Amino acid sequence: GAVVSQHPSRVICKSGTSVKIECRSLDFQATTMFWYRQFPKKSLMLMATSNEGSKATYEQGVEKDKFLINHASLTLSTLTVTSAHPEDSSFYICSARPWDSNNEQFFGPGTRLTVL
């Protein structure tokens, strides 16, 4: 149990376009989902926390108008990178916290975004 999926696993897009990444909890309900960004040979950087039915909470330095997060249901959160630029190229990982857990997150397999 506790499986989190991400789609797509890889995406290549042109500069200036928008890209949507989906994060789904497959076998549990997640009141909270987290979005991370991982640079090459670096740690995970928390971008934002999304709670179902409310606005996401962004970490300092993360542009909320560029990285749009929607948590429409207890099993789905989406991250949209708007007007993507090459510097947005990265590995994006989501995680989900089950509604009955206060200390564990389950991670998705990640999405590799390459902006040309």
Partner 1 sequence: AQSVTQLDSQVPVFEEAPVELRCNYSSSVSVYLFWYVQYPNQGLQLLLKYLSGSTLVKGINGFEAEFNKSQTSFHLRKPSVHISDTAEYFCAVSDGYSGGYQKVTFGTGTKLQVIP
Contact positions vs partner 1 (CB under 8 A):
4, 6, 32, 34, 41-44, 46, 49, 51, 57, 91, 93, 95, 97, 102-110, 112
- Cβ closer to partner 1: 57 or 82? 57
Verify cis geometry, omega within 30 degrees of 0, for the bond prior to 8: yes
Q: Between residues 32 and 75, which has the closer beta carbon with respect to partner 1? A: 32
- Taking the least distance from each CB to partner 1, the nearer of 46 and 76 is 46
| Nearest distance in Å: CB 103, partner 1 | 5
